[in-house]
Amino acid sequence: MTKSIHTLLRERHYGQAYFEEVLMGPSGSRRLDAWVVLPTWSPMTTVGYEVKVTRSDFLRDHKWSEYLPICNRFSFVCPRGIIEPGELPGGVGLIWTTKSGGRLLTKRKAARREVDPSKVVKALTSVLITKVFPMNVHESLDRATRVAGWRKWIQESEESKEVGRYLAHQMGAEYRKVRAENAELRKREEWADGVIKAAESIGLKYPWGDQPSHVTDLRARASGVSGPMLNQLDSTIRTLGTMLRGVEYARERLREIHERSLGSSNGGGA
């Protein structure tokens, strides 16, 4: 709840010097929940807020009046109903969060009061030491870290591009080689299809395998074929199964390379 109230207060004072947990002096001094220095000299104005999220927290707080010397306007901020306007001294403001917790509702406007200049100076010095200076150092370090991070990313990106170009070249060469091999195997497959059809026309059904009985059967069916042609057909039958298996192997390689190239393209675009 406290964090959301601070968020709402920051939104109310957008563009102004808003500080949380402000020490009123050296370490060990009283700590005000929120302090705002308005951007004006006529007159110079500081606004203080004490945040209470429970009724018991409000009832136990007996130190809040010590914040008044550094606040031209001072208000309590709490959820609806935790503090009632009639419980506060004159001039002290009261702000509730709405029931949804999404907005601030001013129940009683804080009256302007004079401050103690010496105590305001101490509070401003505390803000410079504990808030402004560490913030500037942090931003400087953070900026240097971001620059170094971007440089590293650019360098790694260039190296990744080089690797990507090399892999693309290698995969492209392999892809073209397999395509050429596949084209040659397609021609052989067409030739093999013709042989299969010729064999089936005389009653020898594919697949044949390497069983000698198929060769014998084919020899018996081709009794009218000349000797040289019969020998050629015999050799063709024996090698046809191996050749067709080579076609299937080439197809599988081509499919794998195609899928790898698609995966590389998708990874490079992420």
Higher-scoring residue by pLDDT: 134, 172: 172
Grouping H, G, I as helix, E, B as strand and the rest as coil, residue 138 is helix
Higher-scoring residue by pLDDT: 225, 117: 117
Mean predicted confidence (pLDDT) in 96-106: 91
pLDDT of 97 > 80? The answer is: yes
The pLDDT tens digits of the residues spanning 178-222 come to 677 777 777 777 777 776 676 666 665 666 554 555 555 555 555
pLDDT of 88 > 50? The answer is: yes
The 8-class DSSP code of residue 111 comes to P
Dihedral sign, Cα of residue 55, residue 56, residue 62, residue 64: negative
* pTM, entire model: 0.50
Q: Are 98 and 80 in contact (CB under 8 A)?
A: yes
In this structure, what are the phi and psi dihedrals at residue 138, rounded to the nearest 5 degrees? -60, -45
What order of strands is seen across the sheet that includes strand 73-79? 17-23, 31-37, 46-51, 73-79, 93-97, 104-108
C-beta atoms surrounding 48 within 10 Å: 24
pLDDT at 224: 56
The whole-angstrom separation of Cα 209 and Cα 217 is 13
Alpha-helical (H) ranges within the chain are 2-12, 55-60, 117-127, 133-201, 212-221, 227-269
Mean predicted confidence (pLDDT) in 31-47: 92
pLDDT at 149: 60
Higher-scoring residue by pLDDT: 199, 89: 89
Q: What average pLDDT does the structure give for the chain? A: 77
pLDDT at 136: 53
Higher-scoring residue by pLDDT: 103, 203: 103
**Ranges of each domain in the chain:** 2-115, 161-269
